[in-house]
Structure 1
Amino acid sequence: MTIPQPHPAAQPAEEPAGPAQPAGPAAAKQSAAPYLVPFLIGALVSIALGVYGRAHTPTGYAVGLAGFSGAQAMKSWLTTGTLLLVIVQIVSALVMYGKIPGVRGPSWIGGLHRWSGRAAFLLSVPIAFHCLYALGAQFDVPRVMIHSLLGTFFYGVFVAKMLSLPKKNLPGWVLPVLGGLAFTALVGLWLTSSFWFFTTFGITL
């Protein structure tokens, strides 16, 4: 007995093949691009600041704020204030993301996190301006050399972090790593400036 065959029109039409999806190394490069670009821009900022610090002729004076005995005292106290505000940022971030067991963040914790970061940046601007314009990047003394390198590194990481914040679907490690690097650089800046000043000249304005 002959089995009836379905009419050709009844056969399901083959779906047109879509555009080929990148696979293997190409897909990895494509997925890495969103967070590699901020890293690259941050690196360029660090290099640009370092080059300017070396090429610019130091003026010896850039900015002075009332209430301080000198530029070094101003830098030391502003750096200390910046470090304290960044610590507030870290603690508030841990609370927001539930990383501290038994602590539930209040509704205002997000605002505290954002505004402490903004205040920390504003405090750091006079420091950076004075260092770059009045002193430049100096490599003669080990402490000053480390301080200069950490300063350019800190702002490069800061730029990379700010550019990464609006991006979606970033790997979970990107922002914590950038924040940790910025905090580590700031601690190094405090040790090579504020701590040195306070232990050398005393805690004075």
Structure 2
Amino acid sequence: MRSEPAVSHRATTAVLAPVLTGSAAAITLGVFGKVHEPQFFSISLAGFSSGTAVKSWLATLAVALAVFQLVSAFVMYRLTPGGRAPSWIGPAHMWSGRLAVLASVPVAVHCLYALGFSSSDSRVFFHSLFGCFFYGVFVTKMLLLTRKGLRPWVIPVTGGLLFFVLVYVWLTSALWFFQTTGLTV
């Protein structure tokens, strides 16, 4: 009976360093949001009724792009019927991820600068917590993408976690906003 080879120090460091860096990013955002005095100034764009509406629609765009990310990842990893992935799926996956993060940045800036990290009720607390966690996982994933020799499951698991966290943040913010005010623009 063969035993599994021990995980090398180099392989552990290849994953651990990005995880620690992502954790530091999440904690830094949370600390900033907590100690920063909320300004209650929001992003406002012409055509939208409020900064919260802008935030909700940008978050919805980010989640829609993340759904494409999930589907395209399944295609790239051949987890869907049809065999080979089309040649455009890799670049489309990469660009949809970039656009999703780009759409999320004004939302995060508004949340951290205008509202801060809050624990006023459980929905707001978990939204604040997972919002910081989202960017921590994002930093981790971006750093892991530059590493060679990772186990094949590391990037898909990290991407799945990133998707889950973004959806949770959306559920505790944009969905709540739409249920409270309707689909206002």
- The TM-score range, normalised by the shorter chain, is over 0.9
* Equivalent of 1:162 in 115, 139, 142: 142
Give the match's secondary structure for 2:150.
coil
Deviation at 1:62, TM superposition (A): 4.0
* Structure 2: stretches of 5+ with no match in the other structure: none
For residues 53 and 92 of structure 1, the distance between their equivalents in structure 2, rounded to whole angstroms, comes to 33
* Structure 1: stretches of 5+ with no match in the other structure: 1-23
Could you tell me the percent identity over the aligned residues?
A: 52
**TM-score normalised to structure 1 length:** 0.84
Q: Aligned AA for 2:13?
A: A
For residues 174 and 83 of structure 2, the distance between their equivalents in structure 1, rounded to whole angstroms, comes to 32
Query: Relative CO higher for 1 or 2, CA cutoff 8 Å, sep ≥ 6?
Result: 2
Deviation at 1:104, TM superposition (A): 3.5
Q: Please tell me the root mean square deviation across aligned C-alpha atoms, in Å.
A: 1.4
Deviations 1:119-144 (A, max 9, x none): 10110010000000000000011111
Once the two structures are overlaid, the 10-residue window that deviates more, 61-70 or 188-197, is: 61-70
Deviation at 1:103, TM superposition (A): 4.9
Q: Does 1:70 align with 2:50?
A: yes
Q: Does 1:41 align with 2:21?
A: yes
Which residue in 2 is equivalent to 1:10? Answer: none
Q: Judge conservation of contact 1:62–1:129 (CA < 8 Å) in 2.
A: no
Q: Does 1:31 align with 2:11?
A: yes
Q: Judge conservation of contact 2:43–2:54 (CA < 8 Å) in 1.
A: no
Greater C-alpha Rg: 1
Q: Does 1:138 align with 2:112?
A: no
Which residue in 2 is equivalent to 1:61? Answer: 41
Once the two structures are overlaid, the 10-residue window that deviates more, 66-75 or 126-135, is: 66-75
Which residue in 2 is equivalent to 1:113? Answer: 93
Q: Does 1:194 align with 2:170?
A: no
Q: CA separation of 1:130/1:157 partners in 2, compared to 1, >3 Å: closer, same or farther?
A: same
For residues 17 and 128 of structure 2, the distance between their equivalents in structure 1, rounded to whole angstroms, comes to 25
- Runs of 4+ in structure 1 over 6 Å off: none
For residues 71 and 111 of structure 1, the distance between their equivalents in structure 2, rounded to whole angstroms, comes to 32
Which residue in 1 is equivalent to 2:108? Answer: 128
Deviations 1:47-70 (A, max 9, x none): 000000000000001422222111
